[in-house]
């Protein structure tokens, strides 16, 4: 009995000790649980805030996308309108400029450093106006008419003046053919060697090449036709000058002819050849042109 009482007392003491320890440790556990709850609540708030921020940013991004789409559409519309207006202005300016060009090249502009000024002016204007790349334009026809008119009018001049006009346009036409050959990307034009007296516009060679449209290709062909026609006219003029003298020298019997008179005829032949040569040199036309 006493033993059982002692054991029961010991059990009670142990339970009291355990209870005491549990009571002492309870505030710490409660405190830790409270801190975990606060952290959880804080994290939950942060998550909710992040969700709200994400939704806000997504909405802002969507609004920005719509605004950008509208801006792009508006920009495209304005760009199209600007291009149309610019094209119209260019057309008007090109029409006020064509008149200036036509009036300018109707005169004899001479040469600068051995290069025919008219040919250089024509080429630079056509390149600036992008005339080589358009399907329809009348500027080429206007230039061709000026050259054709000058050649036709020259027939009413005396032979020396006629040759001056012909040599001038022979030089300018040759120069234009030369630079067009270097500009037209798909050009299959004849070789330019000999078209000018070794004088080429090297600064024009650096211009970007273009793919010519039909009007530009026709213009090139007309220039080549002018080269052949003008050279033929100058050759015929020379023949008209020297053939009568040659005929006299060939037909007059030597024993009965006047030596001084024959010499005069030969001198006139030489004079015509020298005049022809000087005109060609003055206009920077190579003797190798065919």
Report the C-alpha gap between 181 and 192 in whole angstroms: 8
| Residue 225 CA from chain centroid, whole number | 28
Residue with tokens 């090249």: 105
Name the band, by pLDDT with cuts 50, 70 and 90, for residue 66: confident
Report the C-alpha gap between 18 and 5 in whole angstroms: 20
Residues 83 and 132 in one domain: no
Report the C-alpha gap between 156 and 268 in whole angstroms: 23
Name the band, by pLDDT with cuts 50, 70 and 90, for residue 60: confident
Least confident of 84-88, 189-193, 204-208: 189-193
Number of domains in the chain: 2
Residues 65 and 82 in one domain: yes
- 253-272 pLDDT per residue, tens: 655 566 777 788 888 888 88
Report the C-alpha gap between 199 and 83 in whole angstroms: 40
Name the band, by pLDDT with cuts 50, 70 and 90, for residue 199: very low
Residues 273 and 131 in one domain: yes
User: Among 85-89, 108-112, 257-261, 286-290, which range has the highest average pLDDT?
Assistant: 108-112
Q: What is the mean pLDDT of the chain?
A: 77
Residues 58 and 82 in one domain: yes
Residues 82 and 120 in one domain: no
Least confident of 53-62, 129-138, 168-177, 248-257: 248-257
Report the C-alpha gap between 174 and 284 in whole angstroms: 10
- 205-231 pLDDT per residue, tens: 444 688 889 999 999 999 999 999 999
Give me the count of residues in the chain.
290
For 175, the token pair is 């120069």
In a domain, 191, yes or no: no
Statement: residue 187 has pLDDT above 50: no
Residues 91 and 114 in one domain: no
* Mean pLDDT across 100-119: 90
* Mean pLDDT across 115-128: 91
Residue 256 is predicted with a pLDDT of 54
Name the band, by pLDDT with cuts 50, 70 and 90, for residue 12: low
Print the domain residue range for 84. Answer: 50-98
Q: Are 176 and 123 contacting, i.e. CB atoms less than 8 angstroms apart?
A: yes
Residues 127 and 264 in one domain: yes
């Amino acid at each position: 009995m006493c033993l059982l009482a002692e054991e029961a007392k010991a059990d009670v003491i142990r339970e009291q000790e355990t209870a005491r320890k549990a009571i002492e440790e309870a505030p710490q556990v409660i405190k830790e649980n409270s801190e975990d709850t606060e952290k959880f609540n804080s994290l939950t708030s942060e998550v909710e805030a992040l969700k709200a921020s994400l939704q806000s940013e997504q909405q802002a991004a969507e609004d920005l996308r719509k605004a950008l789409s509208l801006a792009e559409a508006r920009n495209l519309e304005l760009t199209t309108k600007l291009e149309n207006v610019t094209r119209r202005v260019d057309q008007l300016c090109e029409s006020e400029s064509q008149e200036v060009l036509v009036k300018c090249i109707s005169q004899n502009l001479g040469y600068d450093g051995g290069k025919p000024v008219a040919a250089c002016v024509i080429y630079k204007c056509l390149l600036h106006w992008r005339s080589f790349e358009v399907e329809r334009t009348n500027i080429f026809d206007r230039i061709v008419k000026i050259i054709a008119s000058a050649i036709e009018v020259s027939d009413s001049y005396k032979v020396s003046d006629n040759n001056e006009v012909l040599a001038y346009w022979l030089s300018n036409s040759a120069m234009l053919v030369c630079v067009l050959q270097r500009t037209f990307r798909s050009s299959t034009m004849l070789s330019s060697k000999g078209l000018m007296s070794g004088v080429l516009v090297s600064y024009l060679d650096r211009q970007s090449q273009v793919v010519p449209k039909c009007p530009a290709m026709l213009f090139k062909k007309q220039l080549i036709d002018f080269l052949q026609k003008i050279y033929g006219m100058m050759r015929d003029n020379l023949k008209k000058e020297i053939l009568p003298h040659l005929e006299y020298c060939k037909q007059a019997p030597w024993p009965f002819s006047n030596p001084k008179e024959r010499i005069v005829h030969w001198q006139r032949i030489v004079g015509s050849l020298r005049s022809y040569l000087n005109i060609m040199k003055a206009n920077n036309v190579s003797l190798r042109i065919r």
